[in-house]
Amino acid sequence: MVVLSSHSILNNCLAPCKSTAEVPIVDLSRPDAKSRIVNAAEEFGFFKVINHGVSIKFLEKLENEAIDFFNLPLPEKQIPGVANPFGYGNKNIGARGDVGWVEYLLFSTNLNSGELFPGIPLLLRELLTEYSQIVKRMASDVLELMAQELGIPVRDCFSKMIKDEKSDCMFRLNHYPPSPAVNLMGFGEHTDPQIISVGRSNNVSGLQICLRDGGWIPVPADHTSFFFNIGDSLQVLTNGRFKSVKHRVVANGNKSRISMIFFGGPAMNVMIKPLKALMEDGEESRYEEFTWKEYITSAYKTRLGENRLRFYEKLSI
């Protein structure tokens, strides 16, 4: 059980979504998967992936172990350490005062950082290790399909950034308990700073994405599928052709929601700037170049919902 009694959280409720737009679906088994990925990345910065080849039984086993973990007494959940940023977090999101109706585990998935997922039950650790590797491969495959469709000669121009042994990839396991109020904010609106994020949840709704016109749409729950978010870094790499998607999570009043997200980030010394292969003749870069270390350091100093790219924008987009 998670204790979340902050008055600021209980007052942080949202109006229901009104848009009727639908989330784009990419079937990885179809020959048009590449074009659908790029179209979705351009229009929504978000898409749902089906026919991905990951065992549903494996996903359900992981989900059940995650539920068992979050049902543990608080002292046992805190064994991995208090999130800073890695470890167990309860209500507080980051270090700048953001709060939500959520508890979570956040870990690095870099094998060079030592033991993966330390301090949690052995079976859950083994399942999370396998899951993070599976999803990293899937993210790499999708990034390579993107590059192919964009006509970039180097197929792994994006994927090599997250496959690098020094890549700064992370994994978050979230638990949103049943909430005492309708449309209570579970995790506030934000974009992901990385290149790409891959999420999955149990069959409980709550995720919402923001459209380019500012309207919000709910993402129907589907525990058999994966959901991809374009991150800030990929927005810069494509010079704004892809737009990182602003998203949020609303807690369910009656049911617990479990979600797991892989964040594909590059190595700290990687320079993030628009790829020349995607620039038209005479096209100017819309961003100042920066290293991933510079950007993630800057991101940790901002509030959750702030536009972190504003510090690096050269032109209005």
Active site amino acids = 257
Q: How far is CA 27 from CA 93, 144, 153, 207, in A?
A: 33, 15, 24, 21
CB crowding 2-24: b at 16 or more within 10 Å, else e: bebeeeebeebeeeebeeeeebe
Give residues with Cβ within 8 angstroms of 176, minimum separation 6. 101, 102, 186, 187, 204, 206, 249, 251, 252, 256, 257, 258, 259
Chain center to CA of 18? 24
Which structure tokens are listed for 175?
């638990």
CA 82 – CA 62 distance, rounded (Å): 23
Cα atoms in the 13 Å half-sphere on the side-chain side of 203: 3
Give the residue ranges of DSSP H helices in the chain: 7-10, 33-43, 56-70, 74-77, 122-150, 159-163, 232-237, 292-299
CB contact at 8 A, 179 and 253:
yes
CB contact at 8 A, 131 and 260:
yes
Q: Tell which phi-psi region holds residue 183, choosing left (phi > 0), alpha (psi between -120 and 50) or beta.
A: left
